[in-house]
């Protein structure tokens, strides 16, 4: 079953690293490490585990080689948050355009929300984005009304400002794809 949905998209940016407002310390011990070796398997896992509940579908059809080609591009970095050795979330930075870095993907796995991890991970991601290359004058991201309910507030709390808003109507499945069929404890999709 398909449904028509109106989506609002917010585009946010920082134009100076001094605009960063650090998040609070996470409520659990957390490590954030760069995945230095491009790994299509890891990146696809993070993409589906984080985005499955939020209609992240644009990369679902990518082949292994498409993932590898994307990750091999200079300026692409993946930062992974770990709680006691378990991946809790990630940020993908795209510094392929001169002078700017896009936070291409950002989010937490569902079981790690509500532990102040998101604000801390975004703080780390923004710091890394600003230091990705010389001459960075802008770090930006977009989020939409289909993303997690804390996404927009987290970006704004870290000092990112909305510079553009847009709306459009799309046709979507009645349910999100989830990280895999039957992922919810009740046997349904998230």
User: How many folded domains does the chain comprise?
Assistant: 1
CB 72 within 8 A of CB 94: no
Write out the E strands in 36-114. 76-83, 86-94, 100-108
118 found inside a domain = yes
16 found inside a domain = no
180 found inside a domain = no
Burial of 10 (0-12, 13-18, 19+ CB in 10 A): buried
181 found inside a domain = no
Cα(5)–Cα(23) distance, rounded to whole angstroms? 32
The model carries a pTM of 0.93
71 found inside a domain = yes
Cα(117)–Cα(121) distance, rounded to whole angstroms? 6
Whether 190 has a pLDDT exceeding 80, the answer reads no
pLDDT above 70: percentage of residues in the chain: 95
178 found inside a domain = no
Beta bridge partners, 87, equal: 82
- Whole domain around residue 33: which residue ranges? 2-7+22-173
54 found inside a domain = yes
Buried b (16+ CB within 10 A) or exposed e, 135-158: ebebbbbbbbebbbeebbebbebb
- Higher-pLDDT residue of 101 and 57 is 101
Describe the strand order of the beta sheet including 138-144 as a list of residue ranges: 31-34, 76-83, 86-94, 100-108, 138-144, 2-14, 161-173
Taking CA 141 as the corner, what is the angle to CA 127 and CA 72, rounded to the nearest 5 degrees?
75
Taking CA 160 as the corner, what is the angle to CA 158 and CA 163, rounded to the nearest 5 degrees?
165
Report pLDDT digits (tens) over 109-132.
Answer: 999 999 999 999 999 999 999 999
Report pLDDT digits (tens) over 76-90.
Answer: 999 999 999 999 999
131 found inside a domain = yes
CB 58 within 8 A of CB 104: no
Report pLDDT digits (tens) over 166-179.
Answer: 999 999 988 888 88
Query: Which CATH number fits the domain that encloses residue 97?
Result: 3.40.630.30
Q: What is the pLDDT of residue 181?
A: 64
Report pLDDT digits (tens) over 6-38.
Answer: 999 999 999 999 999 999 999 999 999 999 999
């Amino acid at each position: 079953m398909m449904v028509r949905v109106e989506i609002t998209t917010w585009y946010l940016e920082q134009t100076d690293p001094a605009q960063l407002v650090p998040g609070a310390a996470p409520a659990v011990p957390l490590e954030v490490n760069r995945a230095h070796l491009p790994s299509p398997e890891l990146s696809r896992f993070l993409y589906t585990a984080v985005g499955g509940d939020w209609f992240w579908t644009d990369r679902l059809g990518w082949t292994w080689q498409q993932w590898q080609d994307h990750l091999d591009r200079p300026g692409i970095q993946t930062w992974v948050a770990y709680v006691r050795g378990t991946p809790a979330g990630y940020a993908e930075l795209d510094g392929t355009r001169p002078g700017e870095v896009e936070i291409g993907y950002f989010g937490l796995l569902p079981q790690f929300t509500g532990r102040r991890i998101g604000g801390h991970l975004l703080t780390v991601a923004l710091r890394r984005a600003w230091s990705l290359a010389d001459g960075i004058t802008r770090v930006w991201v977009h989020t939409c009304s289909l993303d997690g309910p804390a996404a927009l507030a987290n970006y704004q709390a870290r000092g990112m400002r909305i510079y553009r808003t847009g709306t459009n109507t799309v046709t979507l499945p009645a349910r999100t794809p989830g990280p895999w069929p039957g992922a919810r404890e009740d046997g349904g999709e998230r």
